[in-house]
Amino acid sequence: MQREKHSSEKGIAAAGIPVRIALVDDDQSVHQAMHCIFRELAKDWMLDSYLDGQQALQSMRSAQPQAILMDILMPGISGIECTSKLKVLYPNIPIIMFSARTDAEAVINSMMAGACGYLTKPVSASKILLALKKAIEGSMVLCQTAEKAMLDGLHTLGRSSAVTLLTSREQEIMACVCRRLSNKEIAEFLGISAATVHAHLSKIFKKLNAHSRAEAIRKYLGERKGLTVKAKQ
């Protein structure tokens, strides 16, 4: 992680709003780097360090953060499994995956587990802090590499029977649903009205015989060969 100065970082650090962040990563050097970043660029922020998912699950009962940075490959439970468990316990805490993995399986499964963002290592200090700020504000945060991996993965779904049932517009909307965008966010992204999004979703649910977004995502993604997808319950 690079610790270059950035005007937006200064704005975050100068805001003076106490922010508690949790970092779940088995690499001690990552924790050291993050502590340096906070000391230099976000002095009003606090960083809780956890070296594995189980430790995070136990400790967050008494110290809940406002956002979480989560590695994927860790001893014991994986970051994706930990994310799924944490979202059941604390559904309103945003979780950003923080991993060297850049494959579609990792990105899509992370989103399905409940993550609101994905950053690929290495990443600059400015991008980390801005991603955390956006996540806390309720936005989805995908780095360019993760976004491309997710879209590439979704594009390969064209061979599945579930996808062939949908029109091109419906597939675009399902891609947004898989990214966990709200109806309003989908409408803004595609340049259509929220009512049109709702109408398309009704047709999609009927075609996929789904009664919820989670079920629609599971049926939409579940037929892709080589991709293990677990829908958020």
The answer as to CATH 1.10.10.10 being correct for domain 160-221 is yes
CA distances to 9, 34, 128, 137 from 37, in Å:
10, 5, 9, 21
Q: What type of residue is 72? A: I
pTM over 0.75: no
Rounded to the nearest angstrom, the gap between the alpha carbon of residue 49 and the centroid of all alpha carbons in its chain is 19
Position 194 scores a pLDDT of 93
**Contacts of residue 141, Cβ cutoff 8 Å, sequence gap at least 6:** 96, 116, 117, 118, 119, 131, 134, 135
Locate 216 and state its tokens. Answer: 């629609």
Beta bridge partners of 46: 20
CA distance linking residue 144 with residue 70, whole number of Å:
18
Q: What is the pLDDT along the chain (233 residues), one digit of tens a residue?
A: 544 444 344 444 434 557 999 999 999 999 999 999 999 999 889 999 999 999 999 999 888 999 999 999 998 999 999 999 999 999 999 999 999 999 888 998 898 888 999 999 999 999 999 999 999 998 889 999 998 888 777 666 555 556 677 888 898 898 888 777 889 989 988 899 999 999 999 999 999 888 888 888 877 776 443 333 333 33
Calpha distance 81→94 (Å, rounded): 15
> Could you tell me the residue ranges of all domains in the chain?
7-143, 160-221
CATH T-level assignment (fold) for domain 7-143 = Rossmann fold (3.40.50)
Give me the half-sphere count of Cα atoms (radius 13 Å) on the Cβ side of residue 23.
23
Distance CA 54, CA 57 (A): 5
